[in-house]
């Protein structure tokens, strides 16, 4: 696996800028040193913002014909595809993703989204408004018309987390650049290499200077991005706590913010559900990527008449989860990202016990894995929807089963949350499930497993403390634009 060609440098203004600071990036599966990555300082962030601002205000990128921007980005994505094997191996080693997850969801799906966004960006930027007639002071009638023009927002600060780094890096920079914005990308300190490798690809394909800049750094570096008046839009994915801080930092300069935050999403299992299928969805709801996913279904609202059957089915499935180093392709459940994440999970296990929940499976570190940040997938039954384990985002492998007696109660409990990102319903009565889905206060709902994959046409995002704005699809593309109207009339 090839890592970085410029291990002490950040990608700024089309070139590599060496910095003095560095930090160890470790493999969460075995705690081995993966690389020493550069750590940006305030001067590097200032330079990156300045380069992006100049590239937008003075450079060719926003003024290129759309087909030329599309050609650049197609070459960019083609170059990524040529390095797929290295990137997938990096996702496994840096983010701790399993082989299947890295290949399909962490690489394949974002690349599918990215190509769709590039294609979608050819939609007309200028559309006509209706022609209108209006009496004027001269006693004649004015023939008026106008257009609506979608313009690029400007400089975008893209701030991404550690759980799906390549996915989210691509998901932010491609639509932003496709509409003519310039970007400063700041990845998580835990997963910087999956971002910096994009600088090598930008250099390879000759992306104009300053269009894509990649910096690393601590909280201070992030705050420079969120407060600088030269930045027009912040696209952030992360916790609701950090999101609220960024929103406050952006307020004095009245920046537009696109926030994709946390979740505590509900899976509703009705009495007529296929329990096997529902339990499979429930299993993924807290075991995919060791529970490190904002849209995972971690609250399982199960009709009391089938709850015992559901719990026993899910418990049996958990016995077949293979925990270990994701470098092994037969492993389907890897580590948490760092010790702090494992400790947080352990604390929530104790919280759940203290709240009276019944431990069904897991609840401890797996035997025989002394290196790496592993924790068994953990299932609780008899959980109260008002409890902390049901209301707070763990971001770890804990599933909570909560009983209900009728559909209205299930909807009320699903909506009784500070979050609203995703959701699911399993039922043989698909029409009723659809009606229930429309009542759920959340950004998306999958019925009986949904469409089978994450559609590139579907906007993604949430409400309440899960954030605002949308990613992907035409709505996601338009988030990086503003609307200008131009009116004119005949003599």
The tens digit of pLDDT for each residue in 370-407 reads 999 999 999 999 999 999 999 999 999 999 999 999 99
**Measured distance CA(311)–CA(461) in Å, rounded:** 30
225 & 256 share domain: yes
85 & 60 share domain: yes
Q: What is the pLDDT of residue 262?
A: 93
Q: Mean per-residue pLDDT for 292-313?
A: 98
Q: What percent of the chain has pLDDT over 70?
A: 99
226 & 356 share domain: no
Phi and psi for 356 in degrees, rounded to 5? 95, 5
Q: What is the pLDDT of residue 5?
A: 81
Q: State the CATH number of the domain containing residue 176.
A: 3.40.605.10
Q: What is the pLDDT of residue 4?
A: 82
Q: What is the pLDDT of residue 101?
A: 97
397 & 364 share domain: yes
Asked if residues 488 and 146 have their Cβ atoms less than 8 Å apart, the reply is: yes
Q: Mean per-residue pLDDT for 248-273?
A: 97
On the question of pLDDT at 202 being above 60, the answer is yes
76 & 222 share domain: yes
**Measured distance CA(415)–CA(451) in Å, rounded:** 23
CA 98 from chain centre, in angstroms, equals 18
Q: Mean per-residue pLDDT for 198-215?
A: 98
Asked if residues 480 and 153 have their Cβ atoms less than 8 Å apart, the reply is: yes
Q: Mean per-residue pLDDT for 154-169?
A: 98
Q: What residue numbers bound the domain in which 289 lies?
A: 265-460
Q: What is the pLDDT of residue 218?
A: 81
Q: Is the dihedral of CA 33, 46, 52, 262 positive or negative?
A: positive
On the question of pLDDT at 154 being above 80, the answer is yes
**Measured distance CA(343)–CA(472) in Å, rounded:** 34
Q: Mean per-residue pLDDT for 228-232?
A: 98
Q: State the CATH number of the domain containing residue 353.
A: 3.40.309.10
User: Alpha helix (H) ranges present in 121-181?
Assistant: 165-178
Q: Mean per-residue pLDDT for 279-284?
A: 98
DSSP helix/strand/coil, 66: helix
Answer whether residue 237 is part of any domain: yes
397 & 480 share domain: no
On the question of pLDDT at 2 being above 70, the answer is no
CA proximity to 215, closest of 2, 3, 9: 9
CA proximity to 59, closest of 181, 168, 201: 181
**In which band, very low, low, confident or very high, does the pLDDT at 491 lie, cut at 50, 70 and 90?**
low
Q: Mean per-residue pLDDT for 247-272?
A: 97
Strand ranges, E, within 70-217:
126-135, 141-152, 155-159, 182-186, 212-214
Answer whether residue 369 is part of any domain: yes
Catalytic residue ranges = 260
Asked if residues 70 and 121 have their Cβ atoms less than 8 Å apart, the reply is: yes
Q: For residue 229, count CB atoms less than 10 angstroms from its CB and return exposed for 0-12, middle for 13-18, buried for 19 or more.
A: exposed
* Beta bridge mates, 239: none
On the question of pLDDT at 338 being above 90, the answer is yes
Answer whether residue 3 is part of any domain: no
**Residue 346 corresponds to which tokens in the numbers above?**
């352990």
Angle between helices 165-178 and 109-120 (to 10 degrees): 10
**Measured distance CA(210)–CA(217) in Å, rounded:** 19
**Measured distance CA(314)–CA(298) in Å, rounded:** 13
Altogether, the residues listed in the chain come to a count of 491
**In which band, very low, low, confident or very high, does the pLDDT at 1 lie, cut at 50, 70 and 90?**
low
Residues 6+ apart with CB under 8 A from 377: 286, 287, 291, 318, 321, 333, 361, 362, 397, 399
Q: What is the pLDDT of residue 417?
A: 98
**Measured distance CA(435)–CA(149) in Å, rounded:** 37
196 & 95 share domain: yes
Asked if residues 147 and 174 have their Cβ atoms less than 8 Å apart, the reply is: no
Cα–Cα distances in angstroms (integers) from residue 452 to residues 295, 375, 446, 449, in the given order: 15, 29, 9, 7
On the question of pLDDT at 462 being above 70, the answer is yes
407 & 286 share domain: yes
CA 236 from chain centre, in angstroms, equals 9
Highest mean pLDDT pick, 5-14, 405-414, 481-490: 405-414
CA proximity to 201, closest of 216, 186, 212: 212
pLDDT digits 0-9 by tens, 67-117: 999 999 999 999 999 999 999 999 999 999 999 999 999 999 999 999 999
**Residue 217 corresponds to which tokens in the numbers above?**
């750094």
**In which band, very low, low, confident or very high, does the pLDDT at 453 lie, cut at 50, 70 and 90?**
confident
On the question of pLDDT at 241 being above 90, the answer is yes
Q: What is the pLDDT of residue 359?
A: 98
**Measured distance CA(451)–CA(103) in Å, rounded:** 20
This prediction has a pTM of: 0.96
231 & 320 share domain: no
Question: Where do we find the tokens 């849209």?
Answer: 295
Answer whether residue 246 is part of any domain: yes
Answer whether residue 4 is part of any domain: no
149 & 23 share domain: yes
Answer whether residue 227 is part of any domain: yes
DSSP helix/strand/coil, 358: strand
* Beta bridge mates, 404: 303
Q: DSSP string of 210-267?
A: TSEEE----HHHHHHHHH-TT--EEEEES-HHHHHHHHHHHGGGT-EEEEE----EEE
Answer whether residue 2 is part of any domain: no
Answer whether residue 273 is part of any domain: yes
On the question of pLDDT at 436 being above 80, the answer is yes
Asked if residues 87 and 80 have their Cβ atoms less than 8 Å apart, the reply is: yes
Average pLDDT over the chain, rounded to an integer: 96
Cα–Cα distances in angstroms (integers) from residue 206 to residues 25, 40, 79, in the given order: 28, 23, 11
Task: Provide the domain count of the chain.
Answer: 2
Q: For residue 159, count CB atoms less than 10 angstroms from its CB and return exposed for 0-12, middle for 13-18, buried for 19 or more.
A: buried
232 & 278 share domain: no
213 & 88 share domain: yes
Residues 6+ apart with CB under 8 A from 229: 253
């Amino acid at each position: 696996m090839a890592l970085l060609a410029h291990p002490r440098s950040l990608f700024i203004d089309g070139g590599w800028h060496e910095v003095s600071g560095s930090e160890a990036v470790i493999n969460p599966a075995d705690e081995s040193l993966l690389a020493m990555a550069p750590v940006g300082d305030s001067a590097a962030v200032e330079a990156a913002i300045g380069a992006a601002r100049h590239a937008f205000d003075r450079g060719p990128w926003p003024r290129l014909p759309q087909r030329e921007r599309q050609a650049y980005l197609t070459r960019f994505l083609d170059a990524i595809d040529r390095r797929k094997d290295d990137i997938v191996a990096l996702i496994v080693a840096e983010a701790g993703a399993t082989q299947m997850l890295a290949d399909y969801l962490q690489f394949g799906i974002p690349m599918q989204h990215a190509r769709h966004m590039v294609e979608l960006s050819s939609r007309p930027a200028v559309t006509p408004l209706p022609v209108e007639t209006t009496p004027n002071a001269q006693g004649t009638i004015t023939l008026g018309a106008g257009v609506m023009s979608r313009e690029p927002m400007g400089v975008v600060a893209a701030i991404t987390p550690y759980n799906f780094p390549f996915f989210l890096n691509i998901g932010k920079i491609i639509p932003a650049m496709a509409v003519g914005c310039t970007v400063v990308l700041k990845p998580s300190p835990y997963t910087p290499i999956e971002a910096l490798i994009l600088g090598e690809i930008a250099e390879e394909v000759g992306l104009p200077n300053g269009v894509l800049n990649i910096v690393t750094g601590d909280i201070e570096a992030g705050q420079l991005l969120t407060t600088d008046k030269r930045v027009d839009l912040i696209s952030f994915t992360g916790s609701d706590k950090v999101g609220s801080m960024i929103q406050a930092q952006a307020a004095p300069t009245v920046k537009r913010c696109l926030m994709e935050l946390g979740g505590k999403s509900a899976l509703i299992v009705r009495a007529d559900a296929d329990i096997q299928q529902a339990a499979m969805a429930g299993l993924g709801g807290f075991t995919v990527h060791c529970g490190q996913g904002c849209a995972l279904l971690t609250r399982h609202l199960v009709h009391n008449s089938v709850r015992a059957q559901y719990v026993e089915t899910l418990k049996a499935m958990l016995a077949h989860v293979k925990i270990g180093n994701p470098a092994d392709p037969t492993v389907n459940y890897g580590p948490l990202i760092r010790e702090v994440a494992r400790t947080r999970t352990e604390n929530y296990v104790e919280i759940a016990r203290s709240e009276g929940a019944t431990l069904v499976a897991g609840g401890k570190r797996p035997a025989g894995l002394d290196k790496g940040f592993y924790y068994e997938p953990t299932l609780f039954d008899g959980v109260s929807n008002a409890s902390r384990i049901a209301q707070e985002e763990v971001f770890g492998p804990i599933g909570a089963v909560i009983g209900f007696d009728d559909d209205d109660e299930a909807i009320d409990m699903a909506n009784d949350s500070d979050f609203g990102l995703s959701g699911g319903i399993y039922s043989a009565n698909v029409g009723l499930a659809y009606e229930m889905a429309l009542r759920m206060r959340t950004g998306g709902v999958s019925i009986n497993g949904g469409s089978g994959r994450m559609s590139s046409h579907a906007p993604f995002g949430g409400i309440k403390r899960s954030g605002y704005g949308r990613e992907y699809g035409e709505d996601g593309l338009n988030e990086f634009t503003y609307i200008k109207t131009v009116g004119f009339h005949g003599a």
